[in-house]
Structure 1
Amino acid sequence: MAMDQPDLTTQQVLKRDIPWETYMTTELITGTGLQLLRNYDKKAQSHKAQLLDDDGPAYVRLFISILRDLFKEETVEYVLALIDEMLTANPKRARLFHDASLASDNIYEPFVRMLWKGSWFSQEKSCKVLSSIISVKPKAQVSTSEIGESSNSQKNIATNDDVLNDLVKWLCTQLKEPSHPSRGVPTAINCLSTSLKEPLVRSSFVQAEGVNLLVPLITPASTQQSLQLLYETCLCVWLLSYYEPAIEHLATSKALSRLVDVVKGSTKEKVVRVVILTFKNLISRVTFGAQMVNLGLLQIVQSLKAQAWSDEDLLEALNQLEDSLRENIKKLSSFDKYKQEVILGHLDWSPMHKDPFFWRDNINNFEENDFQIVRVLITILDTSNDSRTLAVACFDLSQFIQCHSSGRIIATDLKAKERVMKLLNHENPEVTKNALLCIQRLFLGARYASFLQA
């Protein structure tokens, strides 16, 4: 991809003089097109605004035809700068691209082409324009899957679907391998925060595994630039929190714990607001509700409520979230809490671990989903670097072996012995003590292990 003049601005490009008369002479633009350009180009903003109010669709058609028919980079960048200027001055002008008089035109094609073949300036502006156009797409423009094959607009609608997929593909590429070292990722996130309002973009983004590309960007910000990137990333997550397939991806990622870290350390109202609204959307799900309780979100919400916020929507959301968290705490049984603690992989000596009644009352719950919790405990022994987590996992395995009628057989079948043996030489004495207890119960049986422990 072209990287010439990566820091070119719209203002710099608009200082160029484009030989429109030459293009008319060579029949690359029409006489009518030339007249429209003479009336518009290099004129005051107020004059341009009046022309767009009076004859906006004609200018949009002209700009698109130039981008479609001309390939000289300087001219292409200039027309993109004109469109960018037009939309920046009034974002509602994006609706001009959906005017009925343009129904037979492929309004998207030139912008999609330049995403992959233009200079960085052309890529960035094309992405921005496409996102703006898509975000105001009339609801009547439905997907091919939602209409009959007999429609006259079938070809255009099919193209619309392809456009969305191409845009999402480009955005995901920027998040993985940016075309521009400093602006690739912010541009992609900015355009996502606009275009994810469109349901078909959400669908395409989730199918492209895009949620996993967002999660690493949810991190506390230190500079103004990184703060804006964080805000727009959280805005994307909030938009995705309305979409069921995206919620499934968020549930299996570290998104929730990262959002908690952000809201814990942020003083910027717009960031706090969008994160709290995301939590409000997700808390009704059992998995998220339990995780939020375990991540200590109630205490964080109470701390946030004590601060002076000017946004009434934020205050209302904080109150609602607090009420929901309290309800979740009431609903969560001790085993639900335990299960979430294990799945999150952060174990501590909370009272339930050493409570004999907990193990007596809940030992049969460990059989759920083919002994899922036992499997996760064994995986933790392989993957965790936290000494406290390792010690508690060893202890819990030893409790399972002791309390379940088939505990030793199940733990042996799941290769627990090999994992625990590796921890016998751990540098932390708490880990080695509990690893030894677990091995004793595996080898010698519960009764003798209890005698040794005593």
Structure 2
Amino acid sequence: MSLDPPTYLASLQNNIRQRPIPWDGVVRAGTLTEDQLARIRAVDRVKKEARQQTVESNLDAYRLLFIGEPGSQSVLESAAKRQDVVQYLLVLLSDLLNAVPALCKAIVATSDPYRQFLPLLAQSPSPDAAIPLLTSTVLVGLLAGSRDESPHAIDRALPVLLTYLSSLIKSSDAGLQDIGVQACSSLLYSRAARTRFWRQRSETVTPLVEILRAAAGVGNKDASASLWSGTTGPSSSSSRSGFEGSLGGGVGLQLLYRVLLVMWQLSFEAADMGDDLNDEYDIVLLYTQLLRLSPKEKTTRLLVSTLLNLLTANQNTLLPTAVLARLPALLQNLQTRQFTDPDLREDLDKLRELVDEYTKTKTTFDEYVGELNSGHLRWSPPHRSEVFWAENARKILDHENGELVRRLADIMKKPWDNDKAVLAIACNDVGCLVREVPEKRGQLEKLGLKTRIMELMGEADENVRWESLRALGGWLQYSFEGAK
């Protein structure tokens, strides 16, 4: 999937190419040697074919020109005090790497190919400073062009480069975001690179998810609560486009597509990181919401393909969440749309088959277990069903030596400042367990549930107070009856 270069970067590079450099004066000042200048002029402002032939016939000379060797400085080192010259040389090198893949391989084959460039990334604290920006382009060209998986690349250069690119993605400037996201996409060329990207997820994945949350119309502070509450609304299973040219939060379609592309590439490691991706970012729920809003086939295709990768690799853990997020109904709705992309239609069929196969074999009890495992409760049908509790209360208490009740207790320990409904639902569930299996009250008390219920009677939220009062009433009823 080749993408056009970011407009901001292309404009900057074109401006630098057109700047006149007084090369003879640079040589007279001792900044560059005559030999270095001759190498530069041989490939500067010439046709692509001539440039390629010149470099390929002198690979070693051009490798030395840009990265030097012991006892011989590179042009970047020699010209370090001339910012205009350094900028020009970085643009020229980036052009040469694109035009002559053999140069990329020749540079990477050296003992320490990134030594010249990494310090330049930290030259300015400003993310839009020209030299760090142009240096990042060179580094992306070297790493991606060679698909380098050496320790120099994965353990040394890539972490520093990803930190810099993340500063671009976090910028409020859409042009810089575009550069950072597209560069990250170029760098996810191998499992080792994707693993490194994931290890730095607080820097790399988090800002991407923040962009996706903005596109979904939810803030980062209460993203989970907003998304879960959206699954219960009257239009939760409908497919709404709602946006033309721009999505929620001012996220443009092109930026959205590029962020989705990076996440799709990352999803090829779903077996290793899919569960954590969902635990930390509610990714299945977020993607289901984005799929409802997706206005273009190209974004829909990436959303569907990423969900397919995640759910296929983590069926036991993520399919229950997909059902809670109302993905089955949404997929049914999408089947009625006439998509022209054959890959999208194929992935959509596979995803629907996967989800349908799961839902055919699962009971209401499985749905409740999936909800507890998701760590977020919502007013789904089991909670208010007397039949459900009559049939499953004891099973819930005994399941895996009380694991489900422990999960319920863990959920109740949190304050849920942005979604008090979770606490109200949890109180409802505890009350139902006490009502149906009163002899197991001791098991619940040992987990601190009675104490927590009493604490919640003082909550400001009216629904939490009501549900906690109802739960405690059942507790007291059986306590009095036992005392008679």
TM-score of the alignment, normalized to the shorter chain, above 0.5: yes
Amino acid in structure 1 at the alignment position of 2:406: Q
The within-5 A match list for 1:402-413 is: 402-404=435-437, 407-413=440-446
CA distance in 2 between partners of 1:203 and 1:92 (Å) = 29
Given the alignment of the two structures, is residue 18 of structure 1 paired with residue 16 of structure 2, yes or no? Answer: no
Q: Residue by residue, what CA displacement relative to the aligned partner does 1:165-195 show, whole Å, maximum 9, x if unpaired?
A: 222333345556x4x7554443332221111
Given the alignment of the two structures, is residue 264 of structure 1 paired with residue 292 of structure 2, yes or no? Answer: yes
Contact 1:6 1:121 in 2 (8 A): no
Q: 2:448 aligns with which of 412, 415, 420?
A: 415
The within-5 A match list for 1:185-334 is: 185-210=177-202, 211-219=205-213, 220=215, 222=246, 226-243=252-269, 244-253=271-280, 254-284=282-312, 285=314, 286-334=316-364
Match of 1:80 in 2: 90
Match of 1:378 in 2: 412
Cα 1:367–1:173 shift into 2, 3 Å: farther
Given the alignment of the two structures, is residue 442 of structure 1 paired with residue 475 of structure 2, yes or no? Answer: yes
Match of 1:148 in 2: none
Amino acid in structure 2 at the alignment position of 1:246: M
Cα 1:7–1:242 shift into 2, 3 Å: closer
Contact 1:266 1:272 in 2 (8 A): yes
Match of 1:153 in 2: none
Q: 359-368 vs 106-115, which deviates more?
A: 359-368
Amino acid in structure 1 at the alignment position of 2:369: K
Deviation at 1:317, TM superposition (A): 0.2
Q: Residue 37 of structure 1 aligns to a residue in which SS?
A: helix
Match of 1:357 in 2: 391
Q: Residue 339 of structure 2 aligns to a residue in which SS?
A: coil
Percent identity (aligned): 22
Cα 1:370–1:412 shift into 2, 3 Å: same
Cα 1:92–1:279 shift into 2, 3 Å: farther
Deviation at 1:202, TM superposition (A): 2.2
Deviation at 1:16, TM superposition (A): 1.4
Q: 369-378 vs 309-318, which deviates more?
A: 369-378
Deviation at 1:93, TM superposition (A): 4.2
Cα 1:446–1:238 shift into 2, 3 Å: farther
Q: 208-217 vs 280-289, which deviates more?
A: 208-217
CA distance in 2 between partners of 1:160 and 1:425 (Å) = 53
CA distance in 1 between partners of 2:323 and 2:37 (Å) = 65
Q: Residue 146 of structure 2 aligns to a residue in which SS?
A: coil
CA distance in 1 between partners of 2:480 and 2:420 (Å) = 27
Q: Residue by residue, what CA displacement relative to the aligned partner does 1:296-335 show, whole Å, maximum 9, x if unpaired?
A: 1122222223223221111100000000001111243433
Cα 1:103–1:197 shift into 2, 3 Å: closer
Deviation at 1:363, TM superposition (A): 3.1
Q: Residue by residue, what CA displacement relative to the aligned partner does 1:100-144 show, whole Å, maximum 9, x if unpaired?
A: x76336432222221111571222222222223212335xx544x
CA distance in 2 between partners of 1:106 and 1:377 (Å) = 50
Cα 1:446–1:418 shift into 2, 3 Å: closer
Cα 1:366–1:175 shift into 2, 3 Å: farther
Match of 2:431 in 1: 398
CA distance in 2 between partners of 1:207 and 1:41 (Å) = 40
Amino acid in structure 1 at the alignment position of 2:142: I
Contact 1:175 1:185 in 2 (8 A): yes
Deviation at 1:409, TM superposition (A): 2.6
Q: Residue 18 of structure 2 aligns to a residue in which SS?
A: coil
The within-5 A match list for 1:112-127 is: 112-118=118-124, 120-127=129-136
Cα 1:301–1:218 shift into 2, 3 Å: same
Contact 2:154 2:196 in 1 (8 A): no
CA distance in 2 between partners of 1:323 and 1:290 (Å) = 15
Deviation at 1:73, TM superposition (A): 1.0
CA distance in 1 between partners of 2:177 and 2:88 (Å) = 24
> What are structure 1's unaligned runs of at least 5 residues?
144-156, 450-454
CA distance in 2 between partners of 1:159 and 1:349 (Å) = 49
Contact 2:104 2:142 in 1 (8 A): yes
Q: Residue 109 of structure 1 aligns to a residue in which SS?
A: coil
Cα 1:84–1:137 shift into 2, 3 Å: closer
> What are structure 2's unaligned runs of at least 5 residues?
1-7, 68-73, 217-245
Contact 1:24 1:31 in 2 (8 A): yes
CA distance in 2 between partners of 1:388 and 1:225 (Å) = 30
Contact 1:377 1:397 in 2 (8 A): no
Q: Residue 252 of structure 1 aligns to a residue in which SS?
A: helix
Q: Residue by residue, what CA displacement relative to the aligned partner does 1:390-413 show, whole Å, maximum 9, x if unpaired?
A: 433211011223445664334333
Q: Residue by residue, what CA displacement relative to the aligned partner does 1:332-365 show, whole Å, maximum 9, x if unpaired?
A: 3433311222334132140465221122444311
User: How well do the aligned residues superpose, as a CA RMSD in angstroms?
Assistant: 3.4
Amino acid in structure 2 at the alignment position of 1:228: Q
Match of 2:230 in 1: none
Q: 1:338 aligns with which of 355, 368, 372?
A: 368
Deviation at 1:46, TM superposition (A): 5.9
Match of 2:110 in 1: 104
Q: 309-318 vs 52-61, which deviates more?
A: 52-61
CA distance in 2 between partners of 1:420 and 1:369 (Å) = 19
Amino acid in structure 1 at the alignment position of 2:14: Q
Contact 2:275 2:317 in 1 (8 A): no
Contact 1:10 1:85 in 2 (8 A): no
CA distance in 2 between partners of 1:326 and 1:63 (Å) = 57
Q: Residue by residue, what CA displacement relative to the aligned partner does 1:149-176 show, whole Å, maximum 9, x if unpaired?
A: xxxxxxxx54663112222333345556
In the superposition, the TM-score normalised over structure 1's length comes to: 0.80
Contact 1:366 1:374 in 2 (8 A): no
